[in-house]
Amino acid sequence: MPEGDSVFQAARRLNTALAGATVTRFELRVPQAATVDLTGEIVHSVVSRGKHLLHRIGPWTLHTHLKMEGEWHVYRRGERWRAPGFRARAVIGATDPDATEWETVGFDLADIAVVATTAEDELVGYLGPDPLSDAWDPATATANLLADTRAVHVALQDQRNVAGFGNEYVNEILFVRGVLPTTPASETDAAAIVDLGARMIRANRDRIGRTFTGDSRPGRSTWVYRREGRPCRRCGTLIRGGSLGADPTRERIVFWCPACQR
């Protein structure tokens, strides 16, 4: 599931391949940006902001979002793609100063746009602090949560409060902190929640497989996420499941231990 750590890893792979390279092929296979051509421009960097990816190319920024199924692949020029071409939404070919030729392909991407780099905030300026950013501001993230009276499960996924946490992270954070998902965010120890979430996502940032328990083996990496009806790893009580959301169109699955989270 593409959450903040997955997007950070994608940006790092893309940046390793593309930073400093000259664009030799630029295709956006979506109607709103199909005519944009950045061939000949230099790739300055590829960075993540929460769940958003930003390719900074010449004076422009290519913005993409992975949503649920999106992914970026990195290939040496001529390598066979590992996904069917009809799913490709962006193709960037580039040549390094050492003449290495790369081809990066974005499959099933969403929210594709190209804007002047100076106008990036028009697309991502609404995001809250990002724990994987050098500009991470836990005090602002804490204040944002304390000002939110909605269920903490909803508030913590609102990217305006904190950028990068998705549903899996939120379920796991609240379990470890012993917080019932329906508790109003304004009534929680928001600073502790923010601190734990930041430590979790930073620990997973450099892992191949995401884990919250410290055990990355299949079926052992989560405390409660997708474990409805199974015994709690701490106390043995059966995990419960349900759904919560800001409104009926944005509900997300939620899991909790009725004994450990009160």
Exactly one of 13, 87, 226, 252 is catalytic; which is it? 252
Exactly one of 2, 129, 131, 181 is catalytic; which is it? 2
Helix (H, G, I), strand (E, B) or coil at 145: helix
252 catalytic per annotation: yes
Exactly one of 49, 51, 89, 150 is catalytic; which is it? 51
Which residues lie below 8 Å from residue 60, measured CB to CB, with a gap of 6+? 38, 41, 114, 115, 116, 117
3 catalytic per annotation: yes
Which residues lie below 8 Å from residue 16, measured CB to CB, with a gap of 6+? none
Exactly one of 3, 103, 168, 172 is catalytic; which is it? 3
DSSP letter string, 103-136: EEEEES-EEEEEEEGGGTHHHHTT----TTSTT-
Best CA proximity match to 36, nearest among 16, 59, 20? 59
Instruction: At 22, give phi and psi (nearest 5°).
Output: -100, 130
- Catalytic positions are 2-3, 51, 252
